[in-house]
């Protein structure tokens, strides 16, 4: 399967600071990518969908001003958690869908565990 | 809208025993079905997928799943599990076009010696 690199794998930050998470597709160009959030022992919840060169579409209840998504190129997307608070502590996972994958096969990064103190 | 139900939150099994992880879905249109595996502190890895054609699909690591349209199910099976199969397994569904994936709540497979 395709390779998706997500960085960092774990980050600890102080409350009020911002954290940027990078997600790269290493062997294909992706027009669409997704950011998910996962709480302990729970399923993945879609946060937003982004298309390269366009603004991200956020799911209901996700604050777009808090979770800034930049899909700057066909191989790179970033999620910035602004003014992080302890309740933002979670596991964040990105995924890419290659243009040819019309049947919604997504390739996932390894995830980033965010701990806000 | 589609939904996915994984009835078992946890399935304990002994090594070399067979296992079935259950998944039922709900959708008013044709679906694509997926099983993903997640090891601790890692992302999701695609195990197998049903897009069309044969209802019995084989995936990696000896897993297989059968699409049953009448029962709206897509149960995952393995005839003989290993300790290394211990992980969280997620069933997911999407529909025609560029729709998003909807995940079930996951089933933790616990394989003991």
pLDDT (tens digit, 9 = 90+) per residue, B46-99? 999 998 889 999 999 999 999 999 999 999 999 999 999 999 999 999 887 667
Residue from A104, A106, A107, A110 whose CB has the most chain B CBs within 10 Å, to mutate: A104
Of the candidates B46, B58, B59, the residue with the CA atom closest to the CA atom of residue B101: B46
User: A-chain residues within 8 Å CB-CB of B36?
Assistant: 108
Q: Work out the pLDDT band at A28, boundaries 50, 70, 90.
A: confident
Q: Which residues have CB under 8 Å from A46's CB, separation 6+? A: A34, A35, A36, A59, B100, B101
Contact present, A113 and A13 (Cβ < 8 Å): no
Q: B 21-60 residues with CB below 8 A of A?
A: 32, 34, 36, 41-46, 49, 51
Q: Residue range A72-78: average pLDDT?
A: 87
pLDDT (tens digit, 9 = 90+) per residue, B59-68? 999 999 999 9
User: B-chain residues within 8 Å CB-CB of A111?
Assistant: 41-43
**Positions of E strands within A1-117:** 4-7, 10-13, 19-25, 32-38, 44-51, 57-58, 67-73, 76-81, 90-97, 107-108, 112-116
* Rg of chain A (C-alpha set): 13
pLDDT, averaged across chain B: 92
Contact present, B27 and B19 (Cβ < 8 Å): no
Contact present, B68 and B76 (Cβ < 8 Å): no
Contact A104 B98 (CB under 8 A): yes
- Taking the CA of residue A66 and the nearest CA in chain B, the distance in Å comes to 22
Pair type for strands A10-13 and A112-116: parallel
């Amino acid at each position: 399967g395709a390779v998706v690199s997500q960085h960092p794998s774990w980050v600890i930050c102080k409350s009020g600071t911002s954290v940027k998470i990078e997600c790269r597709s290493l062997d294909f160009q992706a027009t669409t990518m997704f950011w998910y959030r996962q709480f302990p022992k729970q399923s993945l919840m879609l946060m937003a969908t982004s298309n390269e060169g366009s603004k991200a579409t956020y799911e209901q209840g996700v604050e777009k001003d808090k979770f800034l998504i930049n899909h700057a190129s066909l191989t790179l997307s970033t999620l910035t958690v602004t003014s992080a608070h302890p309740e933002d502590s979670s596991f964040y996972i990105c995924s890419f869908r290659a243009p040819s994958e019309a049947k919604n096969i997504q390739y996932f990064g390894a995830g980033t565990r965010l701990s806000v103190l | 809208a589609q939904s996915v139900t994984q009835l078992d939150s946890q399935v304990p099994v002994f090594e070399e025993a067979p296992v079935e992880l259950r998944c039922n879905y709900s959708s008013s249109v044709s679906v694509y079905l997926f099983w993903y595996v997640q090891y601790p502190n890692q992302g999701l890895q695609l195990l197998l997928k049903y897009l069309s054609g044969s209802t019995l699909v084989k995936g990696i690591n000896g897993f297989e799943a059968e699409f049953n349209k009448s029962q709206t199910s897509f149960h995952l099976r393995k005839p003989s599990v290993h300790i290394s199969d211990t992980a969280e397994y997620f069933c997911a569904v999407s529909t025609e076009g560029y729709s998003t994936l909807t995940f079930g709540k996951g089933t933790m497979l616990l394989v003991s010696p």
